Amino acid sequence: MKFQLKALAAAMVLAAAVPAQAAIDFASTGNSSLSLAVFDSVNNVSALFDLGKSYSDFSVIGSSFADSNIDALGTNLSWNLTGGDYSTAWNTFLSSANIANLQFAVIAADNNAGTAAGNKGIISTLNAETVTSVNNLVLLAQLAAWDSYLAAGQTDNGTIYQNHLLVDNGASVGNSGKANTLVYFGQNKNNAAGGVSVGNIGQSLAVYQQVSGPSTTSTGAFTLFGNNATFTLGTNGVLTYATAPVVEVPEADTWAMMMLGLGFMGFVARRKQA
């Protein structure tokens, strides 16, 4: 009995020592990881960061997930690429890239096996004031191409660093072949179609979502996130997501005190004039 307990304890210690297998989730799962792509097109090097959030965490339309309300007023999220599980990838990337040349985009996707309208979709940064929608054929091509890039970022010969399989928030760096994010962002668009999804470092990009329509050639619903929702990647290596701040409305008793104060000031002013 004592031997069995010791064996069980040893097995538990061994299991705890094995790193978690937390590979990045593809769009084909129906709920891909939210990912940040950063690249230097001059030096032909790019990096991909799993942000630890999913398509469902940011979905605001469609039939697959309930409205996440991620574009509500006062929403703030941030990721520091210079620390934790991201730091080695960020430093490896910057050893080959010039920070002044950096561009970025944020993507999540849903390539659900269902065919009903709204079951598939893409969430992306947008470097424009309005959304340029695409039909189902183009949308599905975008989703498939994104998965191809995610796979290549972990296996392609152009991958010079990756830890997606070992940590919850993995990253990879590539400088050639399909491991380079530039392969996906043709013309700075998602798979060379739709609106411009890429922006320069320090620039704030809007966010949009488009979901599939009812037929192969139809265009599904699409929306720009509300309350001025934006992603921004700073030169300090911090990515932020933020919406407009909540404006506090004074309580009724606060208004009453303000009106009383204004009335008193008016009374004093009249006394002085008299």
pTM of the full predicted structure? Answer: 0.84
User: CA-CA distance, 251 to 238, in Å (whole number)?
Assistant: 36
What pLDDT does residue 273 have? 58
CB-side neighbour CA atoms (13 Å) of 231: 32
**How confident is the prediction for the chain on average, in pLDDT?**
87
Instruction: Give the pair of three-digit tokens for residue 125.
Output: 């940064």
Q: Using an 8 Å Cβ cutoff, are 170 and 102 in contact?
A: no
Is pLDDT of 82 > 70?
yes
Amino acid residing at 217: T
Of 203, 207, 212, the residue nearest 137 (C-alpha):
212
Q: Using an 8 Å Cβ cutoff, are 157 and 177 in contact?
A: yes
Of 80, 73, 171, 65, the residue nearest 110 (C-alpha):
65
Q: Using an 8 Å Cβ cutoff, are 149 and 201 in contact?
A: no
User: CA-CA distance, 120 to 114, in Å (whole number)?
Assistant: 8
Q: pLDDT tens digits for 13-24?
A: 333 333 333 589
Of 242, 238, 200, the residue nearest 49 (C-alpha):
238
Which sign does the torsion angle of CA 150, 155, 161, 162 carry? positive
Q: pLDDT tens digits for 24-53?
A: 999 999 999 999 999 999 999 999 999 999
The DSSP call for residue 43 is: T
Of 237, 171, 244, 175, the residue nearest 201 (C-alpha):
237
Q: How many CB atoms lie within 10 A of CB 35?
A: 25
Is pLDDT of 131 > 80?
yes
Q: Which residues contact 169 (CB under 8 A, 6 or more apart)?
A: 49, 50, 51, 52, 79, 84, 85, 86
Is pLDDT of 274 > 50?
yes
Instruction: Give the pair of three-digit tokens for residue 254.
Output: 């606060």
User: CA-CA distance, 144 to 149, in Å (whole number)?
Assistant: 9
What pLDDT does residue 269 have? 54
Which sign does the torsion angle of CA 106, 60, 196, 186 carry? positive
